Chains A and B, each alone.
Chain A
Amino acid sequence: QKEVEQNSGPLSVPEGAIASLNCTYSDRVSQSFFWYRQYSGKSPELIMSIYSNGDKEDGRFTAQLNKASQYVSLLIRDSQPSDSATYLCAVGDDKIIFGKGTRLHILP
């Protein structure tokens, strides 16, 4: 059974600081890794996808992947109150498995 693990939080970060979200996974075969954001009462939406080892940056967001350690992370720079949400890590090429999500609170 494939597993994706995340700290459930809540993670509280001051406005303007860097938020760091982490995820570990069990399936060494998967080549595809995703971070989704879900606001309360809404559907998940894709923030970042990453497929190779290293860093991938998109605006204030950076995804980091380390396949040897089976670890993927998401950094949010200059955190804003609008970043307060649940962040879901997802792993898989065809059968896409989600972690339980980390609740992030940005403190004004």
Chain B
Amino acid sequence: DADVTQTPRNRITKTGKRIMLECSQTKGHDRMYWYRQDPGLGLRLIYYSFDVKDINKGEISDGYSVSRQAQAKFSLSLESAIPNQTALYFCATSDLSAGELFFGEGSRLTVL
């Protein structure tokens, strides 16, 4: 089983729908991150968390919210999806400052 698991792996939805992408990890890491990837734009940081009570905005947090339900779980929500949120979303974890990021397999979201 993967150490960082994202669900769903693929999702097609309509404009205005609420969507939740979930991330769970078995690595025991405190730090968790959500990134989105668009062709030619690299990875852009949406939110990151260092523990259940510590949530931080990234580069492009508008239109997104997150919940850190437990050390091992970090969810990303789109309250009202719009087409320009169509992207590949990655969850990542790290066990310390300045440490390696371990990525999930990605969740591909299409908003029609």
Smallest distance from the beta carbon of A100 to chain B beta carbons, Å?
4
Q: A34-B100, A46-B100 given as contacts; is B40 within 8 A of A98 (CB)?
A: no
Q: Give which listed residue, A32, A93, A94, A99, contacts B42 with CB less than 8 A.
A: A99
Smallest distance from the beta carbon of A54 to chain B beta carbons, Å?
17
Q: Give which listed residue, A93, A98, A100, A101, contacts B98 with CB less than 8 A.
A: A93
In the bound complex, do residue A32 and residue B43 qualify as a contact, i.e. CB atoms below 8 Å apart? no
In the bound complex, do residue B103 and residue A100 qualify as a contact, i.e. CB atoms below 8 Å apart? no
In the bound complex, do residue A44 and residue B100 qualify as a contact, i.e. CB atoms below 8 Å apart? no
Q: A34-B100, A95-B58, A96-B101 given as contacts; is B90 within 8 A of A43 (CB)?
A: yes
In the bound complex, do residue B106 and residue A100 qualify as a contact, i.e. CB atoms below 8 Å apart? no
Nearest 9 interchain pairs by C-beta = A32-B98, A100-B42, A43-B103, A98-B43, A93-B98, A46-B100, A98-B42, A101-B42, A93-B97
| 6 CB < 8 A contacts A-B | A8-B40, A43-B105, A46-B101, A49-B98, A96-B45, A96-B48
Inter-chain pairs besides A44-B43, A96-B94, 19 sampled, C-beta below 8 Å: A1-B59, A8-B40, A32-B98, A36-B101, A43-B90, A44-B90, A45-B103, A46-B101, A49-B98, A88-B42, A93-B97, A93-B98, A94-B50, A95-B58, A97-B45, A97-B59, A98-B42, A98-B43, A100-B41
